[in-house]
Structure 1
Amino acid sequence: MEKYKTKYTVKLICKALKFPRSIYYKALVSVPSKRQLEADKFKAEIKKIWTDSKARYGAPKIHMVLISQGKSISLKRVQRYMIDMGLRSIVIKKFRYHSERITTEQKKNILSRDFNTAGINQKWCTDITYIHTVREGWTYLASVMDLHSKKIIGYAYDTSMTAELAMPAVKNACLNVKVTEGIILHSDLGTQYTSRIF
């Protein structure tokens, strides 16, 4: 009975306002529910956190951020919303060091953990850092640092980690030094630094 009363009321309203009942029902259907409004709000917040992290954050980290903001949402719900929006974190594989099984020649540790200096160009240290890029994959940065100024005074960058990468870094460090004799160059005795060419 109530159903028929409602239909009759809708009919009278539409007649009074002079528009078809189909428009009324269409508008009624398109009104988002409370759950839909809540979902849309969470999706907007998730996308903002994901964008602010430069697409680095996945569902677990985004979930942690939302919880820290006092939001009540489950990890599974965050995952579901991210799938709906097509959001994925940028996954970078951890660098795996491959041993070349070459016995390195042991050198005397002249520095002997004494990093103190009285001036520049007395003690340098050199090493190779791994940098992941989207286009090239793993790339390598060889650098030389002056232990007195703590400044990088020479570097070289390449896609392979060889002595040919380590050498230009040291050569670049020597460009602005008149006398290199007496400077201690400390390294981790990797194969690049114990090779004959280096």
Structure 2
Amino acid sequence: MLEGARIAKYRFIQKHAEIYPVRLMCKVLGISPKGYYEWKKRRKSQRAIDQEILEEAILQVYKEFKGRYGSPRIALELCKRGLFTSKNRVARLMQRIGLAAVSYRKRSRIGRKPKGSGIMDNLVKRAFEAKTKNTLWVGDITYLPLQHGFLYLATYIDVFSRKVVGWAMSTRMTEQLVIDAFLQAVGRERPSAGLIVHTDRGSQYTSRRYQSTLAAHGAILSMSRLGDPYDNAVMESFTKR
């Protein structure tokens, strides 16, 4: 295993150690508990910790605005949220993470996709309760920082058991990533038709391929409101540092 990937997994386990058993996460991620605890004893510098926090905040803003913000607007948004930084530092970290603002071209109205296409209603409405397993899943994407770039991790959690039912990792944050995680979950759990799958409005989840895949397995899509993390609180508690 590449050292960068191993460290990324150690960081992921450390982040969620208060939520899930360490040994279980080590087993899922294919690493040794002994290696994790040895890594944990090493101290990180405050600079490294601050950079990780800033990188995660940058990625969060980037996702919220669907990649439309470049470094100046992301820096401004972070300042509004109380995380003061410069556009130059944001630009350097975006380059390190592998993020770039999506260029926008004005299109002709003829044949243009309707506004809001692919966005589904919020069927959950913060009522994260289920009477039986595999009736409500929640999903999201987080990232594992490497020495050069990131690994992206897509997960689905069963609200009834709080169990991670499916996951997938990739160096790219694409629709295939969330599809792979969903198919893994379906292969393991064999849910009945009518399963509700709740996510945010990221482009991966509004894509036709993703939604067609879920529909083919009888799943019903639900989505949070724009920029409201409490609408997917179960996943936010899982992915939050």
Q: Are the equivalent residues in 1 in contact too, given 2:155–2:168 (CA < 8 A)? A: yes
Partner-residue secondary structure (3-state), 1:161: coil
Residue 94 of structure 1 aligns with an amino acid whose one-letter code is E
Could you report, residue by residue, the CA deviation over 1:94-139 in whole angstroms, capped at 9, with x for unpaired residues? 14233334965331111121111111001000000111012x4221
Q: Which residue of structure 2 lines up, in the alignment, with residue 184 of structure 1?
A: 196
Q: Which residue of structure 2 lines up, in the alignment, with residue 100 of structure 1?
A: 67
Q: Are the equivalent residues in 1 in contact too, given 2:165–2:189 (CA < 8 A)? A: no
Q: Which residue of structure 2 lines up, in the alignment, with residue 43 of structure 1?
A: none
Q: Are the equivalent residues in 2 in contact too, given 1:117–1:147 (CA < 8 A)? A: yes
Give the alignment of 1:1-40 within 5 angstroms.
none
CA distance 1:104–1:162, shift in 2 (3 Å):
farther
Superposition TM-score, scaled by structure 2 size: 0.44
Residue 137 of structure 2 aligns with an amino acid whose one-letter code is W
Q: Are the equivalent residues in 1 in contact too, given 2:135–2:191 (CA < 8 A)? A: no
- The alpha carbon displacement at 1:161 in A equals 0.5
Q: Which residue of structure 1 lines up, in the alignment, with residue 134 of structure 2?
A: 121
Question: Are 1:175 and 2:142 counterparts?
Answer: no
Q: Which residue of structure 2 lines up, in the alignment, with residue 56 of structure 1?
A: 44
Could you report, residue by residue, the CA deviation over 1:43-62 in whole angstroms, capped at 9, with x for unpaired residues? xxxxxxxx986241248xxx
Whole-Å Cα distance in 1 between the matches of residues 177 and 135 of structure 2? 23
Whole-Å Cα distance in 2 between the matches of residues 195 and 133 of structure 1? 28
Q: Are the equivalent residues in 1 in contact too, given 2:154–2:178 (CA < 8 A)? A: yes
Q: CA RMSD in A?
A: 2.6
Q: Are the equivalent residues in 2 in contact too, given 1:104–1:189 (CA < 8 A)? A: no
Q: Which residue of structure 2 lines up, in the alignment, with residue 111 of structure 1?
A: 124
Whole-Å Cα distance in 2 between the matches of residues 196 and 148 of structure 1? 28
- The alpha carbon displacement at 1:189 in A equals 1.5
Q: Tell which structure's C-alpha radius of gyration is larger.
A: 1
Whole-Å Cα distance in 2 between the matches of residues 161 and 144 of structure 1? 15
Residue 109 of structure 1 aligns with an amino acid whose one-letter code is N
Query: Which structure 1 residue ranges, 5 or more long, are not aligned?
Result: 1-50, 60-88
Percent identity for Structure 1 against Structure 2: 31
Equivalent in 152, 176, 185 of residue 164 of structure 2:
152
Whole-Å Cα distance in 2 between the matches of residues 190 and 183 of structure 1? 20
Of residues 177-186 and 114-123 in structure 1, the stretch that sits farther from structure 2 once superposed is 177-186
Partner-residue secondary structure (3-state), 1:111: coil
Runs of 4+ in 1 over 2 A off after TM superposition: 51-55, 89-93, 95-106, 176-180
Q: Which residue of structure 2 lines up, in the alignment, with residue 133 of structure 1?
A: 146
Whole-Å Cα distance in 1 between the matches of residues 205 and 120 of structure 2? 11
Partner-residue secondary structure (3-state), 1:197: helix
Partner-residue secondary structure (3-state), 1:175: helix
Give the alignment of 1:58-77 within 5 angstroms.
58=46
Superposition TM-score, scaled by structure 1 size: 0.52
Higher relative contact order structure (alpha carbons within 8 Å, sequence separation ≥ 6): 2
Whole-Å Cα distance in 1 between the matches of residues 46 and 181 of structure 2? 37
Could you report, residue by residue, the CA deviation over 1:150-185 in whole angstroms, capped at 9, with x for unpaired residues? 010100001110101110100011013334311100
Whole-Å Cα distance in 2 between the matches of residues 52 and 182 of structure 1? 42
- The alpha carbon displacement at 1:148 in A equals 0.5
Residue 45 of structure 2 aligns with an amino acid whose one-letter code is Y
